[in-house]
Structure 1
Amino acid sequence: MQFRTKARAVDLLGKGQIADLPTAITELWKNGYDAYADNLTAEIFKVKFRDLPSSLFLISDDGKGMSKKDILEKWLVLGTDSKSRAELEQLEDQETLWKKPRIKAGEKGIGRLSVAYLGYPMLMVTKKIGHPVQLLFFDWRLLENFNLFLDDIYIPVEDLASISKVRDTFYKLKISFLQNFKKKKDSEGNPIWEDKQLNLKYEILKSVINARLTNEMINTLFSSFLDIKENHGTKFLIFEPIDQILELAEENKDEDNSEGREFTISSLSGFVNPFKENNQLVNTFFYIHEVLGQDKELINGEGNFFNADDYHLADVLIDGKFDGNGNFKGNLKIYDKIVPYEYITTRRKFAKKFYGEIPIRLGYSQGDRKDSMLGDNAFKKINDKVSKNGGLYIFRDEFRVLPYGRPNADFLKFEERRNKRIGTYYFSYRRMFGYLELSRRENPDLKDKSSREGLISNDPYRAFEADLIAFFIQVAKDFFSDKAQQSIFLDQKKILNERNKAIESDSKRETEEKKAFSRSLNAYPNKFKEYEKEYSSLLELLAQKIEDTNVAFSEIESILERLHRLDVEFENLLPSIPKRYEPTDLQLDRLNKYEDQIHSFNNNIKKNSIVLMVKVAEKAELRDLKINFTKNIDIYKGELETLISDNFEILKSKVNSLIAEYNNRSESILNEFGDAKKAALDSIFSKNEIQKQSEEIKKKFEELKKTLNETLIPLVNHVNRMSFDIDEELLQGAYKAEYDRMRNQWNQVQDTAQLGIAVEIIDHEFNVLYSRINRLLQKLDEEIGIVENSDYQLLEKTFRNLEDKYDLLSPLYRINSAISKDIKCSEIITYIKDFFDRKLTEEKINIVVSDSFENHIIRIKEPVLYTVIINIVNNAVFWMKNAEIKEIHFDYLEEKKEILILNSGQKIEEHRLPKIFDLFYSNRPSGRGIGLYLAKESLNESGFRIYATNKNSYNRLDGACFVITPNS
């Protein structure tokens, strides 16, 4: 007798043993890596994408591929042992694609069966160097028939003679596969397809019949195999993917699917250990094709996964190695301090269970911003990553072992302990990120479960798990619990908390001032309107009284007194700018408009009042005028007295409050020391006790002195430093404004640096692409002779137009390597008109050039001048959008040697004039604030300076006016 195997055994080994979709995909990707692929790709092609009749799923690699012999003797043979032996190929040859031999990621010889989990039917396309393309077609549901033995199953494989034969070969494969349904009964006369499985049979038949290849899909599958001799790789096309795959493309369309979608993205991220620098052994991609030209990349585009640089953002870092017997040696980084650390196990159980050396590198991020040393942006960056993908990962030979690292894979029970007492069990699984590093060589007894969903719970694993749990409990007890034996962490955390508390209090006070300033800005228009109305009505009444010949001065005295009080109030109408913070540009814009209203009031109503006052003086006697003059003086004096009195009451109240609190705190400290003194005296019954209590009293003294130095004395020092000669609020506001500017600039510098790198890359790639397109156009013209074809002519014309635009950019490149030369300003105008041709035409903008500018010659580096002028003109085009007359003027003032570039667009507000050349300052929506800064810097390096002005002698168009002049 011998074993016979039912077909469903393969189904159980394959689909039945795969825990979930990410596991299925990673198993196939591991096989691709083992086949020396550099790129592993999964792709969803949505229905209607390029006229697809249904959605498809494609998983592929650019590995060495398979010949027909490989398929028959290896791929279709289960449990092959070549990987489990973990032996490297000896040579770098065709079998390794001439790459360094790799340690195998797979080991059980059944990972290939995970393709059954992805859907059905399946078309496998594979090619090995020097061999023809092989096609294999199969529907894995056939294995679900419990009456079939493996010997009964036929899996068709065909050579592909040429790309033109794809459809014929595919049809032949389907016909061959359908032979599996010809046999009606087994050797004993029983029906192979029983009644309860007929639905399965009909579903398979329907799927096979409906499976078809469009022209676009044929191109996708075989374009990389066009070179029959040299190309290689393997692809699996699934015609009816499972719903879980299709849901990955449904971003933001169904909240019920979002959790599963995030789970898959998170699980596929970090396929190769990303926590190590330069550890990209293989590239993984997951594309979604739904709209042509708008492909989405699921893992790298949305994953926001960790990398080695993230360890710099860890508040706590554990870096070391377990020796396999439960002991640890390495370093702890606690905030900015490095602490050597050794842990010696006290375990008795599993005492002889050695599991091999295991390195660990684990970062930990504080959950509260106030407990971290990081700045706001850095904290948000790592917090976003930890919130989404936090956990302790396991990698074997650099490849991720699932499910470790997932939110529900807290195998060391961090959260379970933390829920018992957060003060004792510091570590939270959700706040950590990093890895344990296994290898087959060092840890042969830590093995995957057959389902590839975690490690087998054998004695070595249980010892490993117990050791790690004990280690983290002890580390927390030593450094991080609320009763830690060493106070490094707690002391630093206390300092950070106090610092953040102070900043938070200051921010709240600043926020209140901002709100008050905003309220005053909002209230101003109505307030000024009422003021103007009352002032005008008083002037009208005064004018009437003066015209009355019988009126006595006493009748107009009350009117004059009220007008004078309004004059005093006039200075307080405009909201005062806070000193502790810098107002926003929008607030300053509103203030500018309000100032314009006040100027208008002064130029009109106030001027009329002067004429009236002359008439009042003529009508009144000297005695009356002196009385009125005295009353006016008293009004001024009263205003000063009120200001002094009100603020003195505030000062007195605050000083009394501080003194009272100082007395209470100091009394509390002295009482606490008195209690310690009494307790010490009551404890002394022998000479030996005196030394002990002396140390206790000294310790208490140091503790209370520290409290004094941290609370009362800093306040006294601050008050002592205060002076009427120094405006503390103004000084603080200036420093804070400068700090905010520097912080914002630093954040944006990082974006700009990345932008610069991207531009360099794009420029390089554009040059390569441009050359390639140019060669192809020439080849088409020479070899095919389609120069008369209208479509070809349109294509060439479009490309040449793009070429011309690219040529216009050439003067802007390589500023550093350029040399100064004489440039005719007339050439600048020609260049600008060419560069902005479409914009100038569409916006109907007129360029006006003076003769003096036209004839002027300037000596400067060409890229510097062209970059500056392009930036200025580009800004002008934007700010002239709503102007009735759109003009840009170029002028040269020969006497002052100044070039003027002015436009009829929006005027630059006075408060913005000194700012517009600052780095990252921009008033344009989505503007980066880089152009004018670079213009200023590059001109300075070339011996010129640039500034903006609103002087009438320059700014004749009442818009923006820029002046370029030599440095004196």
Structure 2
Amino acid sequence: MAQIKTKARALDMLGRQQIAGIPTALSELFKNAHDAYADNVEVDYIRKRNLLILRDDGLGMTRDEFEERWLTIGTDSKFVDENSIALPATNMSKALRPVMGEKGIGRLSIAAIGPQVLVLTRAKREDGLSTLVASFINWTLFSLPALDLSDIDIPLIEIRNNKMITNDQFLNLLSQAKDNVKTLNNKISQDKIDAVVHQIDSFEFNPEVWYRNLKAFDAKVDDQLKSDGITSTRKLYLDEDGFGTHFVISPVDEILNEEVEGDLAARAATDQASRLEKALLGFTNTMDKDNKPPILARFRDHTADGSVVDRISESIFFTPQEFEQSDHHIKGSFNEFGQFTGTVTIYGEEKREYVLSWPEGLNKPVTCGHFKINLAVIMGTARESKLPNVLWQEIYHKTNKIGGLYIYRDGIRVLPYGDSDVDFLHIEQRRSKTGQAFFSYRRMLGSVELTKENNYALHEKAGREGFIENKAYKQFKSILENFFIQAARDFFNEKGDLSEQFLQIRSRHQEAYDLLKKRENLTSTKKKRLQQQLEVFFKRYDNDYWSSRLTSISEKINYRFKDFDKQSESADDFIFEVQEILSNGLKPLVNNLNITFPAGVGFGKTLTDLCDLYKVKKDKIQYNINELKTKTEKRLVVFEDKFGNRTGMRRRFTDSIDSQTEFQKKQLNAVYYKANKVLEELEGWTKDEISRNRELAKTTLEQVKHDLSSVSFNERSADELYELKASLEGKITETANIVLERVEHIAEQIQTIREGNEQNSIAGNKLTEILESEYEHLKEVNDRNSEMVHLGMAIGIIHHEFSGNVLGIRRALKEMQPWANKNEKLNLIYEDIRSGFEHLEGYLKVFTPLTRRLTRKKVSITGKAVSDFVNSVFWDRLDNEKIQLKVTDNFLKQSIIGFTSTIYPAIINLIDNSIFWLGKASGEKVITLDATSTGFIVKDSGPGIPTIDKDNVFEFAFSRKSGGRGMGLYVVRKTLEDEGFEISLAPYNPNEGACFTIAPKLEQAVIDAEA
């Protein structure tokens, strides 16, 4: 008799060597977490430590289950059989979950991730929580040919009293593993023993430190989920009341970095997803709003620079909102005969019932079973989509990267379907061959829903590389291929039986997009030109262009009046000379003052405000010009009355009137010429268009007559003659409709010009301007609100992160200090760390007032307290930038009633801006804190804020800083206004810097005084 013996390397062959890669291995572990009724399974990949930690909150395993199931290969525990061991535990409070990990390769696939694993598992059963089971496995031993399975001992311990494994207990597990390896010297060489022992020693993991850090990180994630309106059920710890299974793997195979990021150059060029994203995104179907995924999977990449990137969570995959927003939707089911019944929605219009047969079915039940499909499609160009351009760009980018048809069995993704590179339905192949196929993986997001019960004949391959190509799979594939081919023909083809709605709406979107694009190009040029003219105007205004020249003209006139000699000069010559000085001096001032605004163009709020400010300044300048003219004219009248005669005065008045009349005639003639030229061009264009369309109609009619006369009626059948007649009549009708539409459109365009008459006082271009301005304003508000949401979230995360770690850093610094005092080199490092931390802490003190908003109350805010706070935050930066902070006695004595969470951040923001601009200035650098009778003043000696920006600095997204986001002063003003305060900027002075004042509004000051 003989027996089959099992070598240890059989595990390596069954596990690591059968797995396509690390993403597939992780997918297997995710499925095991699903089978354990986990709600969450999460991976933290810490690159700096070459460490991967996978945690789930499933039912976990008792010691007996761990040994009899997890450490036993080929168990039958997931099958119902009289001789099998008991089935795995189930969670009776949840719906029964079909088993996904039937092949037992999940545990073996860990070796594909890394050669060593610490397994931690704690069971939750009806009678309560079990002890924590900890075990260490070195997979390298299982790849050595000389070893039998019985040669390898797996160290295992239990931790009681609801405690987590300690570092000493973990080191004890490693010690046991090394002792076992050393006993194998009769089977493997000493070099191999030393290599495995060295590998075990390299497993640097302190469970006490890491699990403390993970708990802090989990708290942050839970806070983020809560802020997103999601009630978190995450419980990813194993002490106290926690349960589940954790795998700590190290060292991680270096290939994982490439699996996570992919070929960065190729991804940048082709916008491809990484292998990890392709395999793990959409592990459960989170794109369907009606679907409740049994488990949520996440993979967090802790990069080398310390940032954390979420690679596969539900927010990274397609969201229900993105699915709903798409252009077209098809939803339905394929019955047991392969026939489709469902609905099709084109461009969000009403659902249309759709039934499609599968011709190969021959009315026989299919082996693959019945299944469902839910598909969304976006158009390949923005001009054909119903989505606004910004939304279309976002979804287009996402589908280009991860679009596809994902297959799910009982809510869990079947690999590799969904990967656009896996063209199992030949969708992309048909598209490349014909060039006209409608569907594309890169333009769709959809799912096929299978169940183990209904589709049991569809078997997955051992390596999880798709379904085995049996009869059921071939039927399944054929049904779907027929569906995509026929649905494209019916709904999205130029000659499709049901495509009329699609073609009409697509044409409408194309036309609207093209018109808007053309108008955008036109208006953007006009806006840019206007913006440049305004910038030139305000630059001149700040440089006193008009006031200085008006003063110069006035001084010249005064000098001539003072210098007039009645003995040697005639009054007429003098008056003529003064008028020349006035006219020649004012002419360039008036020319440079006037800006023509483009008609029929709407502006955003920023440009609108700038135009309003221009009009205010222009009126002021025009008033000064008119005042100088009036004053001079009056002086000339008095002068002429004194030194001249009434006859000369009449002649001068007449000449002035004639001159003004001539000037106005020139202006009117110029505008008459312009209007006539436009009218001539319009008339010429209209006549050409009408003539061209008339010629088209005439040519078509003549061609039809020619075609009819060229036909021999004797040689054609009655049906052929009828088809000819219908074809020729159709050509006449089609051409007539085209011409009618074009000419009617011309008439409507001309009619629009007449809309500014007495019957309709609002001209079309004016109405367009109003509506366009409102649209631009609404766009800006929407963008602003979106940015503010992200800003608020960022502040919350930063403050929570800092608050959660500051005490630990302080404690660590305190513990390090005695060592640093005894070691000079260490002391230098310690001082750098301490200084840097205090610097960072000073900056983040800015958030301290913000955290008191919920329980805050108004207090007396003194200048002394504000001064101390400013110094604690900025002392280091002020010192580095060589900036002097001056605090006046008025500021120190001032006090106002308000919220610290309002006043402190406002002043901090102003000083931060001053430091930035002073850093670019030369000369003395000073920031002064002063006070008015009711408020605080913050001013600096920097370049100041020019008039053109006076109001813009408080607008959202306006910034002159390179890379600035333009939120600071907007948030400051909005927050102050909400709390009864106002912030104002002093007028521009080229000899002084920016000067801001924060003070209570007048009515608020009265209320505070009475209180």
1:333 corresponds in structure 2 to: 345
Cα 1:141–1:341, aligned 2, differ >3 Å: closer, same or farther? Answer: farther
1:964 corresponds in structure 2 to: 1001
After TM superposition, the score normalised by the length of structure 1 is: 0.75
CA distance in 2, matches of 1:764, 1:530: 53
Q: 1:574 aligns with which of 583, 593, 597?
A: 593
CA distance in 1, matches of 2:687, 2:192: 87
CA distance in 1, matches of 2:585, 2:762: 32
CA distance in 2, matches of 1:91, 1:749: 57
Cα 1:303–1:209, aligned 2, differ >3 Å: closer, same or farther? Answer: farther
Whether the aligned pair in 2 keeps the contact of 1:139 and 1:204 (CA below 8 Å) is no
CA distance in 2, matches of 1:828, 1:489: 68
Q: 1:513 aligns with which of 522, 526, 529?
A: 526
Bigger Cα displacement from structure 2, 345-354 vs 317-326 = 345-354
Q: 1:404 aligns with which of 387, 402, 417?
A: 417
Whether the aligned pair in 2 keeps the contact of 1:902 and 1:957 (CA below 8 Å) is no
1:658 corresponds in structure 2 to: 685
1:165 corresponds in structure 2 to: 169
Q: 1:468 aligns with which of 457, 462, 480?
A: 480
Residue 69 of structure 2 aligns to a residue whose secondary structure is helix
CA distance in 2, matches of 1:958, 1:801: 25
Residue 325 of structure 1 aligns to a residue whose secondary structure is coil
Bigger Cα displacement from structure 2, 501-510 vs 92-101 = 92-101
1:926 corresponds in structure 2 to: 965
Cα 1:868–1:356, aligned 2, differ >3 Å: closer, same or farther? Answer: same
Whether the aligned pair in 1 keeps the contact of 2:119 and 2:135 (CA below 8 Å) is yes
CA distance in 2, matches of 1:475, 1:86: 46
Quote the offset at 1:136 in angstroms: 3.1
Quote the offset at 1:40 in angstroms: 2.2
1:139 aligns with 2:139: yes
Quote the offset at 1:462 in angstroms: 1.0
Cα 1:504–1:575, aligned 2, differ >3 Å: closer, same or farther? Answer: farther
Residue 425 of structure 2 aligns to a residue whose secondary structure is coil
1:31 aligns with 2:29: no
CA distance in 1, matches of 2:745, 2:431: 33
Amino acid at match of 1:926: R
Whether the aligned pair in 2 keeps the contact of 1:273 and 1:398 (CA below 8 Å) is yes
Cα 1:803–1:740, aligned 2, differ >3 Å: closer, same or farther? Answer: closer
CA distance in 1, matches of 2:386, 2:327: 7
Quote the offset at 1:556 in angstroms: 11
Whether the aligned pair in 1 keeps the contact of 2:604 and 2:780 (CA below 8 Å) is no
2:220 corresponds in structure 1 to: none
1:780 corresponds in structure 2 to: none
2:854 corresponds in structure 1 to: 813
Gaps of 5+ in 1: 50-54, 185-197, 778-790, 893-899, 940-944
Whether the aligned pair in 1 keeps the contact of 2:52 and 2:252 (CA below 8 Å) is yes
Quote the offset at 1:112 in angstroms: 1.7
2:667 corresponds in structure 1 to: 640
1:433 corresponds in structure 2 to: 445
Residue 286 of structure 1 aligns to a residue whose secondary structure is strand
Cα-to-partner distance string for 1:194-217 (whole Å, 9 max, x where unaligned):
xxxx8xx94674143242267753
1:212 corresponds in structure 2 to: 201
Q: How does 1:36-185 map to 2 (within 5 A)?
A: 36-47=37-48, 49=49, 55-83=50-78, 96=91, 101-128=96-123, 129-131=129-131, 133-140=133-140, 142-143=142-143, 145=145, 150-151=148-149, 153-159=151-157, 163=166, 164-183=168-187
Cα 1:652–1:760, aligned 2, differ >3 Å: closer, same or farther? Answer: same
CA distance in 2, matches of 1:723, 1:601: 33
Whether the aligned pair in 2 keeps the contact of 1:18 and 1:451 (CA below 8 Å) is yes
CA distance in 2, matches of 1:593, 1:726: 23
Cα 1:809–1:506, aligned 2, differ >3 Å: closer, same or farther? Answer: closer
Bigger Cα displacement from structure 2, 610-619 vs 59-68 = 610-619
CA distance in 2, matches of 1:474, 1:416: 16
2:826 corresponds in structure 1 to: none
After TM superposition, the score normalised by the length of structure 2 is: 0.73
CA distance in 1, matches of 2:92, 2:869: 49
Q: 1:889 aligns with which of 931, 937, 942?
A: 931
Quote the offset at 1:275 in angstroms: 1.7
Amino acid at match of 2:470: N
Quote the offset at 1:139 in angstroms: 2.6
1:734 corresponds in structure 2 to: 770
CA distance in 2, matches of 1:804, 1:97: 49
Q: 2:466 aligns with which of 450, 454, 476?
A: 454
Bigger Cα displacement from structure 2, 167-176 vs 836-845 = 836-845
User: For the aligned residues, what is the CA RMSD?
Assistant: 5.8
Whether the aligned pair in 1 keeps the contact of 2:282 and 2:317 (CA below 8 Å) is yes
Residue 463 of structure 1 aligns to a residue whose secondary structure is helix
Amino acid at match of 1:451: G
1:276 corresponds in structure 2 to: 288
CA distance in 2, matches of 1:662, 1:260: 48
Cα-to-partner distance string for 1:536-556 (whole Å, 9 max, x where unaligned):
899989979988958998899
Amino acid at match of 2:255: Q
Bigger Cα displacement from structure 2, 168-177 vs 37-46 = 37-46
2:299 corresponds in structure 1 to: 286
Whether the aligned pair in 1 keeps the contact of 2:323 and 2:376 (CA below 8 Å) is yes
1:492 aligns with 2:505: yes
Amino acid at match of 2:748: P
Cα 1:850–1:394, aligned 2, differ >3 Å: closer, same or farther? Answer: closer
CA distance in 2, matches of 1:801, 1:546: 71
Quote the offset at 1:22 in angstroms: 0.8
Cα-to-partner distance string for 1:401-429 (whole Å, 9 max, x where unaligned):
11111130121111111122333x21111
Residue 931 of structure 2 aligns to a residue whose secondary structure is strand
1:241 corresponds in structure 2 to: 252
Cα-to-partner distance string for 1:809-840 (whole Å, 9 max, x where unaligned):
6874379xx9xxxx89x568788678767469
Whether the aligned pair in 2 keeps the contact of 1:330 and 1:342 (CA below 8 Å) is yes
Amino acid at match of 1:238: I
Bigger Cα displacement from structure 2, 714-723 vs 392-401 = 714-723
Whether the aligned pair in 2 keeps the contact of 1:92 and 1:100 (CA below 8 Å) is no
Q: How does 1:545-584 map to 2 (within 5 A)?
A: 564=583, 567-574=586-593, 576=595, 578-579=597-598, 580-582=601-603
Q: How does 1:656-735 map to 2 (within 5 A)?
A: 656-668=683-695, 670-671=697-698, 674=701, 678=705, 700=734, 703-704=737-738, 707-708=741-742, 711-723=745-757, 729-735=765-771
Cα-to-partner distance string for 1:878-928 (whole Å, 9 max, x where unaligned):
566558563453546xxxxxxx77655798887878888888888994344
CA distance in 1, matches of 2:136, 2:913: 63
Residue 130 of structure 2 aligns to a residue whose secondary structure is coil
1:747 aligns with 2:783: yes
Residue 711 of structure 1 aligns to a residue whose secondary structure is helix
Q: Taking every aligned residue pair, what percent have the same amino acid on both sides? A: 22
Residue 337 of structure 2 aligns to a residue whose secondary structure is coil
CA distance in 2, matches of 1:488, 1:290: 50
Q: How does 1:251-262 map to 2 (within 5 A)?
A: 262=274
Residue 483 of structure 1 aligns to a residue whose secondary structure is coil
Whether the aligned pair in 1 keeps the contact of 2:842 and 2:872 (CA below 8 Å) is no
Residue 133 of structure 1 aligns to a residue whose secondary structure is strand
Residue 130 of structure 1 aligns to a residue whose secondary structure is strand
Bigger Cα displacement from structure 2, 37-46 vs 411-420 = 37-46
Amino acid at match of 1:395: Y
Whether the aligned pair in 1 keeps the contact of 2:58 and 2:243 (CA below 8 Å) is yes
2:388 corresponds in structure 1 to: 375
Residue 337 of structure 1 aligns to a residue whose secondary structure is coil
CA distance in 1, matches of 2:266, 2:672: 63
